[in-house]
Structure 1
Amino acid sequence: MTHLLMKVLGCTFNLSRSLQRRDRFLVNGIHLIGVTKECLDEVRGDHGWETLLNDVTTFCAKHDIKVPSMDDIYEPVLRSKGFFRKVKNLLHYRVEIFTSVIDRHFKS
């Protein structure tokens, strides 16, 4: 989750700073909206998911953290298993988390 957060915030950081400065950098802020959208579109694409998954897998291997197989069925932690529909880890992490986080930034 931290890797996803870093990618999304990395794309939106310059836009946020520009908008916080208000009137002085308004023209720059308008330009950065387009740049931020392109960056988030790139992260949301197939290559962005593969890159994120590779980064997370590498980090977990380095720190001896177990990575679930993306082909296994998702098993929720600290919630009733009946609460979730049975989906593969790939669908849960890619669609229900990764894509929805990026899409929420587009709505903001």
Structure 2
Amino acid sequence: MKYDLRKIMLRAWRLYRENKELSFGECLHRAWLSAKAEEVNAKRIEAAKATAGVEEETNTWSGWKKLGYEVIHGSKALFGADLIWGSRGDGKVYKARFFGRSQVQELATA
């Protein structure tokens, strides 16, 4: 597998700027962990989505928010997946919940 070295370095610098208590070496380590976890996480999401029988576009609550949508209040997640969160540097597995396109609405602009 080829990794996007530019993306890894940008992530390392962003982590370094956000976490002044971490050395740049630690931030680079975390960026590499995140890059390696992306492929594993994508496979886990697809497997969980297939097991749940979901075919519509899905994303996490925060993922939808980044795209300009909000999850409709009271909506239940369609499925969950255990994902690796490499940016924390611990390689632990975290639970993520996914919502479908039918469960979101565009953010109200004020």
Normalised to the residue count of structure 2, the TM-score between the two structures is 0.28
Larger radius of gyration: 1
- Structure with the bigger percentage of strand: 2
Q: TM-score, normalised by structure 1?
A: 0.28
Q: Whose helix proportion is higher, 1 or 2? A: 1
